Amino acid sequence: MVSSIIDDSSKSIIYENKPQVKRSVISKETSATVRFALESVVANGTGKNAYIENYRVGGKTGTAQKVSNGKYMVGNYILSFIGFLPANDPEVIVYVAVDNPKGVTQYGGTVSAPIARSIMMSAIETLKIKEQSGGMLKEYSYLDVKYLQVPDVVGMTKEEATKALKEFKVKYSGTGSKVAFMSPKANTFQSVETTITLLLN
């Protein structure tokens, strides 16, 4: 905690703390287990509002009731979320804490997680973080906009592609009989409201 101690009169250094290499606090195996657990919090737990399709996000929500004069305050909380991505090889860590927000449901997952998600989305764009596969799929509720994996239809006929993409809106370009190109690209997760554009040749 102390960098150095300096004599006030002579300005000479009496003591200087040198950096020391310490061993890892936890093993790689334990770290991987914890990251897996925190990824499940975002995919299937209280941190769902921080989930980002096609990216692996881990995190934990916090809902802390504040104390005044030794007693818990009524309806007064600090709502927090700490998240990181990619969960399999972290590059970004975000911590958001909101002190006693008004007019909202008092949970970290409903208040702080969406803010953290927005920050992480900006980080993805700024740092050009690539999409990852192999992450946990989010369990959607009836209130959520559903995301599905886009099948690869390149090389299919127009009829075959239409059938394979029945969950999405489809737009065609070109006059050919087979799909030569598609956007967004295959195997990514997209909203069912997304329009898939197919180039026919």
Tell me the pLDDT tens digit for each residue of 80-90.
999 999 999 99
pLDDT recorded at residue 37: 96
Report if residue 6 sits inside a domain. no
Examine the fold and report which residue of 94, 127, 160 is the final residue of a domain before the chain moves on.
127
pLDDT recorded at residue 58: 96
Based on the fold, state whether residues 116 and 169 are members of the same structural domain: no
pLDDT recorded at residue 29: 93
Based on the fold, state whether residues 115 and 156 are members of the same structural domain: no
Report if residue 116 sits inside a domain. yes
Report if residue 121 sits inside a domain. yes
Distance, CA of 1 to CA of 17 (rounded, Å): 9
Report if residue 78 sits inside a domain. yes
Secondary structure letter of residue 171 according to DSSP: E
> Is the preceding peptide bond at 19 cis, omega within 30 degrees of 0?
no
pLDDT recorded at residue 130: 92
Q: What is the total count of domains within the chain?
A: 2
What are the backbone angles phi and psi of residue 36, rounded to the nearest 5°?
-60, -45
Contacts of 136 (CB under 8 A, 6+ apart): 39, 40, 42, 43, 44, 56
Based on the fold, state whether residues 113 and 186 are members of the same structural domain: no
Distance, CA of 183 to CA of 158 (rounded, Å): 15
3-state secondary structure of 190: strand
Report if residue 19 sits inside a domain. no
HEC-encoded secondary structure of 172-185: EECCCCEEEEEECC
pLDDT recorded at residue 136: 86
Based on the fold, state whether residues 37 and 100 are members of the same structural domain: yes
Look up the CATH number of the domain holding residue 154.
3.30.10.20
pLDDT recorded at residue 6: 92
Stretches where the chain sits below pLDDT 50 are none
pLDDT recorded at residue 33: 95
pLDDT recorded at residue 145: 74
Based on the fold, state whether residues 111 and 166 are members of the same structural domain: no
Q: State pTM to two decimals.
A: 0.66
* Residue range(s) defining the domain that contains residue 93: 28-127
Based on the fold, state whether residues 34 and 123 are members of the same structural domain: yes
Report if residue 16 sits inside a domain. no
Report if residue 159 sits inside a domain. yes
pLDDT recorded at residue 193: 86
